[in-house]
Structure 1
Amino acid sequence: MAILILFQVFGFHLEQNEWAQYHWSKITTIVVSDKVKDEIYCLAHSYNIRLVLKADISVFNLENNITMDMRMSFVAGLVEKYKLDGIYMLFSPKLKKGSKDYRDITRMVKITASYFHNKLPGRQISFNVPWTPNCKNERFFDFLPISPLVDLLFVESFNIHNDMHCVAKSVSSYQDVLTGLSDYIKLGIDSRKLVMGVPWYGYDYTCKHFPQDGACELNCSKPVKKSIPYKTIVKFLPKSLTGRMWNNDQSAPYVVYMRGKTYHQIWYDDPESISKKSTLLKRLKLGGIGVMKLNDVDHRRTSRATLHAEEMWNALCPP
């Protein structure tokens, strides 16, 4: 049986820079991809922050229990060697309901949880899930049986419109986030196990023509977009054609600019849109909120960067 942790503020630290200026007092767990610098380790633990290892379990061999044990031993060895406080499991390939892999994943999470509880008791075990359990062409896990095996389910409440082809949309629209989280709760999953992920980045879309009424039409057969961090977006806003615009339907900001003769539209999240989603923490009695990723906000000690960073951190846990 997994141990339920109190309210979480997750953060993903996947680069080795700007870490010293994080708002350490507001974080409970940081996900890392490998060994962290000694300075980060010491500072995080001085604030009682858990450092957990990101582990892509899609590479695990589910056919051979001996191989499975060896892989578990390897991962647990890394956690122990780096003196980390748990594991964050990620399975990225698409998964269809009822498939062999669908059944194997539940078994694999059970083996993983059992291994950690026996070999490394007290370590935090979390599992990554898509923005909704009602997935279409996505990762469909056996969510309800998995939930009691782990401490937390990190819900990717972003990249929601990845299956969109013709019109640019928000990375993480409020209504979709609410619907996705509510659907997990309707399955019977304890809401306190759910950590709502929010993006500190946006997407830059290439439009076919000037976006009328905020609608950026894309090349349906091959839409062009690229990820862009919040720290780049805020620097870019004053140079854009429109400045910051707001879409009420998606409760999200966007901006339009030109590159050469081509129109672009950037959809992103900022303090206002994140604060609105943060109200779901109390409304749905969630276990916490998580940031993808900490380095996407400028944490340098300039007056402008400090202001923007403060606003984004405060948006995670509004009064």
Structure 2
Amino acid sequence: MSCQPGEAATQDYMYAKQWKQHGSQGNGSPLAGAIPSTKEDGCERMRSSLALAQVLALAALWVAGESDTNIECQCSNPSLCQPVAAHIQHQVEVVVFDIGGKDWKHYDWSKVTTIIPVRAYDPEILCRAHANDVRVLLIGRITQPLLRSPAKRAAWMNEQIQVAKRQFMDGITLNYQQSLSDQSMYHTGLIELIRDTAQIFHREIPGSQIIFTVPWAPNCIEGQCYDFATIGKHCDFLFVRSYNMHDQTMNECFAMSNAPYHQVVSGLSAYINLGIESRKLVLGLALFGYDYTCKQLFEPGRCELEQNDLIRAPCSYHAARPVPYKDIMKLLPKSFTGKYWDEVSRVPYFNYMVNITYHEVWFDDPESISIKASILRKLKLRGIGMWNANYLNYSAVPIAAMQTEDMWNAMCPFRGKWRARII
């Protein structure tokens, strides 16, 4: 009795294709119901067994390595689809978030060391970045269900590394900004996810970066009561969001800076006091300000706000409208006060009016950014970052181009050493 392999091979291919397209069915097995049980002759049983073995092998190969097949480099130079080499490091990191569009074509790539596309992935960004030895990082959004389930964490990590490889990326930025309950399960799950993600990325993509974003201070900001010291040990560095500092304020409701200088310093120092190396901290600054609507304007710098209903606090920055720097520069000429400087916060502000309503805008400009950038040397930090570079004006209008250049220069003041490699 002879057995022809053709039918089994055809079945095997179709079942594997079906599994890939539709995933698990029935009892959870990708093959549930695909191969009927039979008690026919030994030849048929052998065909079924062979088909099953081949399907399982194909399925395993697809799970482990689908992203490594049918990959096409879209860069003109194929070498640009290789991750940035591990030996290329920089004395000072400049981390730039990008939220889409084509503004990246006008960035000062001589200053950037890491870029993080937040929205749709654009292969052109990767080509430009790698041509300048700039790493491109995936955004890894952590959800609370991952913290409860080791199986879900494993599947999530496998998905992240496959996406990073498929898109020729250089690491991942982990983001989790939810409050955690007192249950140790969540804290343990978060640390294990960060640790294991770092291990798999470092193993699979040599030279890759793993970043975790953290609030401006480690004292349970908005319920983010994490074990930052342990998290810092597993990451290459922490991106400290040194802005939105007045989520809840128990003082009088008046407009204020969203990133006062002394609070920026105190927040970073608090991380260092936890035992986190200063070289593991990147100072993250916001290229947006806040437009407050005044309930009453007593004088410039004394814009009283309507109270808003927040738990434990009468007012916060949520009372204001966030405005990109490029739009603030368009509002400034409409001001009836001109630009003022607050010596306490070390930031500028101005007032303007819409109909009969007063507004007060607090923001960072090249002068205040330069003052904050000096913290890098003061605390010996790893680098500086911006959320986000799209908030600058990249038009050909001369005054806009000058304002944007001034902001880039303020963010990156150490010209001689900025992009020096450590090889």
TM-score of the superposed pair, with normalisation by structure 1:
0.94
Aligned to 2:388: 293
Q: 1:117 — aligned with what? A: 202
Q: How do 1:220-239 and structure 2 match up within 5 A?
A: 220-222=307-309, 224-239=319-334
Pairwise CA RMSD of aligned residues? 2.0
Identify the residue that residue 192 of structure 1 maps to in structure 2. 279
- Tell whether 2:215 aligns with 1:130: yes
Separation of aligned partners in 1, 2:183 and 2:147 = 16
Does the alignment pair 1:175 with 2:262? yes
Question: Which letter does structure 2 place at the counterpart of 1:309?
Answer: T
Change (3 A) 1:152 1:60: farther
* Residues 171, 269 of structure 1: 8 Å contact kept: no
Query: For 1:206, which of 274, 293, 304 is the aligned residue?
Result: 293
Distance 1:204 1:96 in 2: 34
**1:66 aligned partner, one-letter code:** A
Instruction: Name the SS of the counterpart of 2:100 in structure 1.
Output: coil
* Alpha carbons of structure 1 residues 308 and 96: separation in structure 2 relative to 1, 3 Å: farther
Query: In terms of mean alpha carbon deviation, does 106-115 or 241-250 score higher?
Result: 106-115
* Corresponding position: 1:53 with 2:53: no
Shift of 1:61: 1.8
Q: Does structure 2 conserve the Cα–Cα contact (< 8 Å) formed by 1:132 and 1:180?
A: yes
Q: In 1, are the aligned partners of 2:257 and 2:362 still within 8 Å (CA)?
A: yes
Amino acid at match of 2:289: G
- Residue in structure 1 matched with residue 342 of structure 2 by the alignment: 247
User: Quick one: distance in 2 between partners of 1:87 and 1:218?
Assistant: 40
Following TM superposition, by how much is the alpha carbon of 1:82 offset from its aligned partner in structure 2, in angstroms?
Answer: 1.0
Q: Distance in 2 between matches of 1:34 and 1:97?
A: 33
Q: Is the 8 A contact 1:131 1:177 kept in 2?
A: yes
Q: In 2, distance between residues paired with 1:158 and 1:99?
A: 29
Question: Does the CA-based 8 Å contact 2:180-2:224 persist in structure 1?
Answer: yes
1:107 aligned to 189, 192, 198, which one? 192
1:140 equivalenced with 2:235 (yes/no) = no
> SS at the partner of 2:151?
helix
Q: Retained in 2: the 8 A contact 1:58–1:92?
A: no
Contact 2:283 2:381 in 1 (8 A): yes
Gaps of at least 5 residues in structure 2 are: 1-85, 310-314, 415-423
State how 1:28-107 maps to structure 2 within 5 Å.
28-58=113-143, 61-95=146-180, 99-107=184-192
Instruction: Report the CA distance shift for 1:16/1:140 in structure 2 as closer, same or farther (over 3 A).
Output: same
Greater CA radius of gyration, 1 or 2?
2
Q: Which amino acid aligns with 2:128?
A: L
- Is structure 2 residue 354 aligned with structure 1 residue 267? no
Cα displacement string for residues 27-66 of structure 1 (whole angstroms, at most 9, x for unaligned residues): 0001112553232221111100011011111255222222
Structure 1 contact 86–123 (Cα < 8 Å) conserved:
yes
Confirm or deny that 1:13 pairs with 2:108. Answer: no
**Paired position in structure 2 for 1:312:** 407
Which whole-Å CA distance do the structure 2 matches of 1:194 and 1:260 have between them? Answer: 45
- Rounded to whole Å, the distance in 1 between the matches of 2:327 and 2:377 is 31
* Cα distance between partner residues in 2 of 1:71 and 1:119: 15
- More moved, 54-63 vs 275-284: 54-63
Which has the larger share of helix?
2
Q: Distance in 1 between matches of 2:275 and 2:307?
A: 37
Contact 1:97–1:141 (8 Å) recurs in 2: no
User: SS at 1:24's partner residue?
Assistant: coil
- The alpha-carbon distance between structure 1 residues 136 and 66, as it changes in their structure 2 partners (threshold 3 A), is closer
C-alpha displacement of 1:113 = 1.3
Shift of 1:106: 1.3
- Aligned structure 1 segments of 4 or more residues deviating by more than 4 angstroms: 2-5, 96-99
The 3 A distance-change label for structure 1 pair 119 and 23 is same
- The amino acid across from 2:296 in the alignment is H
Whether the 8 Å CA contact 1:96–1:139 is kept in 2: the answer is no
8 Å CA contact retained: 2:138, 2:169: yes
1:138 shift after superposition = 3.2
The yes-or-no answer on 1:22 pairing with 2:107 is yes
Shift of 1:5: 6.1
1:276 aligns with 2:371: yes
Aligned to 2:240: 155
Say whether the 8 Å CA contact 2:212–2:239 is kept in structure 1. Answer: yes
C-alpha distance in 1, partners of 2:405/2:118?
26
CA distance in 2 between partners of 1:171 and 1:164 (Å) = 12
**Alpha-carbon shift at residue 72 of structure 1 (Å):** 0.8
Partner of residue 217 from structure 1, selected from 292, 300, 304: 304
| SS of match in other structure, 1:61 | helix
- Identical aligned residues as a percent: 39
C-alpha deviation, 1:71, in angstroms: 0.9
Letter paired with 1:130: P
